[in-house]
Amino acid sequence: MSDMNPDIRDAHQPVQPVDGTVVPRYAGFSTFARLPRIGDVPSYDVAVVGIPFDAGVSYRPGARFGPAHVRQCSRVLRPYHPQLEVSPFASQQVVDAGDIACTPFDIATAVGQIEEQASALIADGARLITIGGDHTIAYPLLRAHHRRYGPVALVHFDAHLDTWDTYFDAPMTHGTPFRRAAMRGSSSRATARMSVFEERCTRPTTCPPTPNSGSPSCTAASSKGAPSMT
């Protein structure tokens, strides 16, 4: 039985998140922001999809559990933003499309699976919001969007460029997706323009130590722009 509020079922209006005054926030399906599942609506404008993949990391795995944790935390999100005075779910149909299923044992195979399933979700022009997952997933997502829309632009907020060539001789990892997209040209079917803002401590010797650690702690940051890559 669906836990969706029957009062909000209207063929002419987007189906809204489950009402927290009708179904407690700890109950019901664990979708992002308690949005309807993709099978609950005839069409959608935006799909939120998880990509629980972290086989491309070089240090600490665990990002595969990100989609489930983000969904659980999003149960307390409200459908109205009082500061911005907007109701984003009222003006367009947003759905939770579940998770993209991909193998955790072969990066190349997983990249192909992510690209194909993402392509299917945006085939009719819908927008995609993805929850990862390590940064390897950026490459197949760029490929999927290039297939649908042609050359794409990328705004990248990160502490790293992620433009390594290889890592331990592996060409596809969480540190290489944007080099693969930018340098393979037509064979990758993706191009990228990147603007990277890198946060770093500019005065490490003068910053006060973090309590109980003795290590420098600093809130100072500098912005460093990277040249466009095509």
Where residue 12 falls among pLDDT bands split at 50, 70, 90?
low
Residue 183 falls within a domain, yes or no?
no
pLDDT of residue 38: 97
Tell me if residue 47 falls in helix, strand or coil.
strand
- Model confidence at 182, in pLDDT bands (50, 70, 90)? confident
Is the residue at 133 inside a domain?
yes
pLDDT > 50? residue 223: no
Mean pLDDT within 56-77: 96
Strand (E) or helix (H) holding 69? helix 66-73
3-state SS, residue 94: strand
Kindly state whether residue 116 falls inside one of the protein's structural domains.
Answer: yes
- Rounded mean pLDDT of 48-76? 96
Instruction: Give me the pLDDT at residue 155, please.
Output: 85
Q: Of the candidates 43, 175, 228, which has an alpha carbon nearest to the alpha carbon of residue 121?
A: 43
Determine the residue type at 222: S
In a domain, 110, yes or no: yes
pTM: 0.76
- pLDDT value, residue 1: 35
Domain range enclosing 116: 6-150
Count structural domains, the chain. 1
Provide the CATH number for the domain around residue 62. Answer: 3.40.800.10
DSSP string, 136-202: GGHHHHHHHHHHHHSS----B-SSS----S-BTTBSSSTTSHHHHHHHSGGGTT------B-----S
Q: What is the rounded CA–CA span in Å between residue 174 and residue 44?
A: 30
Is residue 107 included in any domain, yes or no?
yes
For residue 40, being part of any structural domain is answered with yes
Q: Which residue has the higher pLDDT, 2 or 112?
A: 112
pLDDT of 5 higher than 50: no
- Residue 160 in domain: no
Mean pLDDT of 200-218: 43
Q: What is the mean predicted confidence (pLDDT) over 12-18? A: 89
Residue 221 has pLDDT above 50, yes or no: no
153 pLDDT higher than 70: yes
Alpha-carbon distance 162 to 179, whole Å?
Answer: 7
Q: Are 1 and 9 a contacting pair, CB within 8 Å?
A: no
Q: What is the mean pLDDT of the chain?
A: 81
Q: Quote the tokens at residue 60.
A: 């600490």
For the residues 21-44, what does the mean pLDDT come to? 94
Which pLDDT band holds residue 174 (cuts at 50, 70, 90)? Answer: very high
Q: Is residue 216 part of a domain?
A: no
pLDDT at 214: 44
Could you tell me which residues are beta bridge partners of residue 130? Answer: 49
pLDDT at residue number 184: 67
